Chain A
Amino acid sequence: MGPGPPTDGDSSSREPAIRAYSTNETSNYHQIKFITMAIRAALLLVRATPLQFSFNPKQALVLKQNNRNYAVKSSLEPPDVQRLAETARISLAPHEVEEFAPKIQQVIDWFGQLQAVDLQNVAPAIRADNEEETLRDDSPEIFENRDAILAAVPCYEDSYIKVPKVLNKE
């Protein structure tokens, strides 16, 4: 099987595994929830850019030109917090939804300011310019402090990382 999209399991069973990678401490959990949501919301913006979603190179060319029209677009959709939470595999209590909505709106508005930049005379770029070539030779090196990485894994047994079962159930 490809490395691609996960097989569908129920999201609730997956979440603890994800949490394990993020943090152990519940005090940080709330904060991380918000950050994740904000990132997701920001991604929603990116997603709104058709250029990123086109598989068809011809279409992409056309859309690149459309890119310049973004300057014209002024207001942005308010976030659907429930949906965001779903895609982030995070369960939110109703009061959290209420609490997060304006904050995420704020983040979106920051990005919204970028939409106001006039790009009429700027050639589209696929990536921000980078200073110099940053590549690496194919020579292996073992990372010394692997034990520390594994020590941070919440559940590690018999050389494996243990996670809640993620088999598909039909």
Chain B
Amino acid sequence: MALTFFRGLHTHSFLMYPSSFLSRKNGMLYCTMKSIRGQTETQEKSQHQLKVSTQTQSRKHDDIFKNFEAIIGIETHVQLSTLTKAFCSCPYNYGAQPNTSICPVCMGLPGALPVLSTKVIESAVKVGLALNCNLSLSSKFDRKQYFYPDLPKGYQISQFDIPIATGGYLDVDIPLEFGGGHRKFGITRVHMEEDAGKLLHTGNGSFSQVDLNRAGVPLLEIVSEPDMRTGIEAAEYAAELQRLVRYLGVSNGNMQEGSLRCDVNISIRPIGQLEFGTKVEIKNLNSFSSVSRAIDFEISRQALLHSQGQADQIVQETRLWEEGAQKTVTMRKKEGLADYRYFPEPDLPGVTLTEEYVDGIRCSLPELPEMKRRRYEGMGLNMQDVLFLTNDINVADFFDSAIAEGADVKLAANWIMGDIAAYMKNEKLSINEIQLNSHELVELISSIKGGTISGKIGKEILFELMAKGGTVKGLIKEKNLVQIADPVEIEKMVDKVLADNPKQLEQYRGGKTKLQGYFAGQIMKESKGKANPALLNKILLEKLNAKS
């Protein structure tokens, strides 16, 4: 299990350090499939040519990797989608004019006192419960001191030795294309803290620019146990966290905007060795695919150093993932432990939760991704369907309401994953943005099932519904699309087509029976797509074979 990643590398050169580590033969990560596919294809193409010449070396490197195991833990910062900052009433809107959402509290002016928003506690409790953690009914805030221009107070309000939640786990289903399987990753802790401002480093100037709008915005830091072994597992863990916070409605989980930030800790060790190797931290991971690729790169880099007897070159440091170059580079080496001088935040009281409060939130939790997946599985859907439908809570809601109205499970899943998903992708729309609602999908499915319209017409109507809205019944009536299921009417059309094509009829009767498809097509055309296909074929066949 630990080495699924290495298996993926078989045919790729290790000597083409470093970009050749990064190809994915078996498709992209589930969650980011759309955005990066193009890029991968190009990479794979160029690597193909190198394959033959380096195969021998690859095999040798494979052997090296088989001897190592990667230990991966992730720290995730989730920005809460509260209307105000954590400790003041300043509104926070991503992309607002710089330095407009500020006040004495978040600017750290003397005498200003922070006051915690109830929504922050509520969100933390929700996430803590959803991650199966133990909640501290009594926790507190601490000051983490450091100097940086994006931190006006000179300290960050955080939780240090008593976080609000500890000791949980997250269930993850690995997509089939990455080997499949279910994993449980431990959660060490969840704590509340505030964000810092944003620093912009402009071109060649000798200065940096600071925007303090984000200073004081509430974050949850979620720390995992070092339970992951591959880049895929890490990326799937992060994707599951994103789903979780979106299901809970506590964050938009948007990685590009920085609402969900992952820092990865990774070390590798020879298999069988108990003690961990030197831990390296990777930052600047802006997508799930970069999480996965950065880890795979880092494993390769470290394994290579090990195999070359240069393990001492692996030092405790922070490395940055460079998306362009597809590699990690040293950002800063650790010079002794940072000295944050944590101490209890004197301006804030402790955070006290009552059992009733926690129970109230526990009862109000929505169905979470893991529960939904298990439920869908129980409905007979395969894992691919399950993962697709549960990936986006809005898609899952759409599917759920269709099922609640009595739609056939597999048919509803097929429509959503097929034509609807394709349309959403092409038009770059979310399921809430298309004009079709779940009720009309149910109507559509039952109209086809009941024989009112053909599947082909159904498809046409679907696109109209998605683009312009309206109702299935209305469209059928308006366009006169009701399926022709009257044998007499179909017989007339069959007769006409046969009469119009005497030459083909002769050929058919001469043995060219493949022409049946041609006739069927002509008749369907004649009926404007409305003829019941089964009936049409039955009558056609009778007529074709009648006089032969």
* A interface, CB within 8 angstroms of B: 1-8, 11, 14, 17-18, 21, 40, 43-44, 46-47, 51-55, 57, 60, 87, 89, 126-127, 130, 133-143, 146, 149-150, 155-156, 158-168, 170
- Chain B residue nearest in CB terms to A137: B118
Asked if residues A141 and B89 are in contact (CB atoms below 8 Å), the reply is yes
**Would you list 24 pairs from A and B whose C-beta atoms are within 8 A, ordered by A residue?**
A3-B77, A6-B147, A18-B147, A18-B149, A43-B145, A43-B343, A44-B341, A53-B342, A54-B161, A55-B160, A126-B139, A127-B344, A135-B117, A136-B84, A136-B116, A138-B118, A149-B107, A159-B100, A161-B209, A164-B206, A165-B201, A168-B332, A170-B329, A170-B331
- Interface 9-mer from B22-30, B188-196, B488-496, B510-518: B188-196
**Closest CB in chain A relative to B346 CB, distance in Å:** 8
Q: Which residues of B contact A163 (CB under 8 A)?
A: 149, 207-210
Asked if residues B102 and A146 are in contact (CB atoms below 8 Å), the reply is yes
Complex partner residue of B161 from A53, A142, A161, A168, CB under 8 angstroms: A53
- Please judge, given known A-B contacts A21-B108, A139-B84, whether A1 and B263 are in contact too, CB under 8 Å: yes
Complex partner residue of A149 from B98, B104, B193, B350, CB under 8 angstroms: B104
- Please judge, given known A-B contacts A54-B161, A160-B209, whether A140 and B341 are in contact too, CB under 8 Å: no
User: Which one of B101, B152, B199, B283 has the greatest number of beta carbons of chain A within 10 Å?
Assistant: B199
Q: Is B57 an interface residue (CB 8 A)?
A: no
**Closest CB in chain B relative to A79 CB, distance in Å:** 14
**Closest CB in chain A relative to B97 CB, distance in Å:** 6
Q: Which residues of A contact B209 (CB under 8 A)?
A: 158, 160-163
Asked if residues A3 and B140 are in contact (CB atoms below 8 Å), the reply is no
Asked if residues A1 and B219 are in contact (CB atoms below 8 Å), the reply is no
Q: Which residues of A contact B284 (CB under 8 A)?
A: 1
Asked if residues B118 and A161 are in contact (CB atoms below 8 Å), the reply is no
**Closest CB in chain B relative to A107 CB, distance in Å:** 15
Asked if residues B89 and A146 are in contact (CB atoms below 8 Å), the reply is no
Asked if residues B261 and A2 are in contact (CB atoms below 8 Å), the reply is yes
Asked if residues A139 and B83 are in contact (CB atoms below 8 Å), the reply is yes
Asked if residues A150 and B99 are in contact (CB atoms below 8 Å), the reply is yes
Query: Please, how many angstroms separate the alpha-carbon atoms of A52 and B342 in the complex?
Result: 7
Asked if residues A14 and B148 are in contact (CB atoms below 8 Å), the reply is yes
Closest 8 CB pairs of A and B: A143-B103, A130-B349, A140-B91, A6-B148, A127-B350, A160-B209, A138-B119, A141-B89
Q: Which residues of A contact B102 (CB under 8 A)?
A: 143, 146, 149-150
Q: Which residues of B contact A52 (CB under 8 A)?
A: 142, 160-161, 342-344
Asked if residues B84 and A3 are in contact (CB atoms below 8 Å), the reply is no
- Chain A residue nearest in CB terms to B98: A159
Query: Please, how many angstroms separate the alpha-carbon atoms of A156 and B349 in the complex?
Result: 35
Complex partner residue of B140 from A44, A127, A143, A159, CB under 8 angstroms: A127
Q: Mark B134-159, 1 if CB is under 8 A from A, else 0.
A: 00001110101111111110101000
Q: Is B339 an interface residue (CB 8 A)?
A: yes
User: Which one of A3, A17, A150, A160 has the greatest number of beta carbons of chain B within 10 Å?
Assistant: A3
**Closest CB in chain B relative to A62 CB, distance in Å:** 13
Q: Which residues of B contact A8 (CB under 8 A)?
A: 332, 335
Complex partner residue of B89 from A44, A51, A140, A164, CB under 8 angstroms: A140
- A1-B263, A167-B208 given; name 12 further pairs at CB < 8 Å: A1-B284, A5-B146, A7-B318, A7-B332, A8-B335, A138-B82, A140-B91, A141-B90, A143-B89, A146-B100, A162-B208, A166-B149
Asked if residues B341 and A126 are in contact (CB atoms below 8 Å), the reply is no
Q: Which residues of B contact A158 (CB under 8 A)?
A: 209
Q: Which residues of B contact A17 (CB under 8 A)?
A: 149
Query: Please, how many angstroms separate the alpha-carbon atoms of A18 and B147 in the complex?
Result: 7
Q: Which residues of A contact B318 (CB under 8 A)?
A: 7
- Please judge, given known A-B contacts A5-B340, A136-B117, whether A142 and B91 are in contact too, CB under 8 Å: yes
Q: Is B121 an interface residue (CB 8 A)?
A: yes
Q: Mark B203-236, 1 if CB is under 8 A from A, else 0.
A: 0011111111000000101000000000000000
Q: Mark B326-363, 1 if CB is under 8 A from A, else 0.
A: 00011110010011111110000110100000000000
Query: Please, how many angstroms separate the alpha-carbon atoms of A8 and B210 in the complex?
Result: 17
- Chain A residue nearest in CB terms to B219: A3
Complex partner residue of B341 from A87, A137, A168, CB under 8 angstroms: A87
Query: Please, how many angstroms separate the alpha-carbon atoms of A102 and B77 in the complex?
Result: 43
Query: Please, how many angstroms separate the alpha-carbon atoms of A30 and B97 in the complex?
Result: 36
